[in-house]
Amino acid sequence: GEDVEQSLFLSVREGDSSVINCTYTDSSSTYLYWYKQEPGAGLQLLTYIFSNMDMKQDQRLTVLLNKKDKHLSLRIADTQTGDSAIYFCAETWGEKLTFGTGTRLTIIP
Amino acid sequence: KAGVTQTPRYLIKTRGQQVTLSCSPISGHRSVSWYQQTPGQGLQFLFEYFSETQRNKGNFPGRFSGRQFSNSRSEMNVSTLELGDSALYLCASSLYPGSSGNTIYFGEGSWLTVV
């Protein structure tokens, strides 16, 4: 199947860490991506991880990959109001990307 | 370096009309994909072009078509528009097709409203 699953909502206090989770389906996916979408905008590539890695860090962003469980997570350290958005994970499936439903991240002041 | 450029950004069409959307990929990128985003169905793959050839097509009716030009710019066309075609249409650009494992960048999208 092609279902990539994410929780729909996440609320986090400003300054705390946010952890957004994703379960993907295709163990042969080569790359897994995280995109950010702000209201009225397109998709902004945040980061990606190759399937033979288990962790990638990029400034405030940390991606963890558990290939055995097909679980991907995105941790945003020191969450700010500008991080409010919908976050999509995506896996490569053949020649295309298959996206999760998106997680709406809300920052509580 | 300019990003992925999509035009027009917003448009309103009437049922039964047709529409053409344009996408200019990042300079040097040869692969262009199109996705449809709706509240109900989320992000769904439409088709992918590489070197002017359609390599893959999603599960959409024949009213949805596209092409790619020799300069890698791409257009998609929707004929006989239906209300359900109202969506954000996103174009993605990469050096090679997605399965090759390369970074994929998206444009700001074209918001289509069918009335």
pLDDT by residue (tens digit) across A11-48?
Answer: 999 999 999 999 988 767 678 999 999 999 999 999 99
Cβ-Cβ contacts under 8 Å, A44 against chain B: 106
**pLDDT tens string B21-45:** 999 999 999 999 999 999 989 999 9
| pLDDT above 60 (res A1) | no
Q: Kindly provide the residue ranges of all beta strands, DSSP E only, lying in A51-95, ordered along the sequence.
A: 55-58, 61-66, 71-76, 85-93
Residue recorded with tokens 């002041």: A109
pLDDT for the residue A51: 84
Could you tell me the two tokens for B108?
A: 């700001």
What pLDDT digit, counting tens, does each position of B56-114 carry? 999 999 999 999 999 999 999 999 999 999 999 999 999 888 655 678 999 999 999 99
User: Which residue in the block uniquely carries the two structure tokens 């896996």?
Assistant: A91
- Cβ of B101 within 8 Å of Cβ of A31? The answer is yes
Asked which of A66-70, B15-19, B88-92 is least confident by mean pLDDT, the reply is: A66-70
Check B43 against A41: CB less than 8 A apart.
Answer: no
Mean pLDDT, residues A46-61 taken together: 92
Note which residues in 4-23 of chain A have CB less than 8 A from chain B.
none
Instruction: Decide if A35 touches B, using CB distance below 8 A.
Output: yes
Residue A85 tokens read as 């958005």
Q: How many CB pairs under 8 A join A and B?
A: 58
Q: Is the peptide bond before B8 cis (omega within 30 degrees of 0)?
A: yes
Q: What pLDDT does B28 receive?
A: 93
Which residue from A minimizes the CA distance to B10?
A: A40
Q: What is the pLDDT of residue A93?
A: 72
| Contact status, residue A30 vs residue A50, Cβ threshold 8 Å | yes
The predicted pLDDT at position A92 comes to 82
What pLDDT does residue A86 have?
97
What is the average pLDDT score of chain A? 92
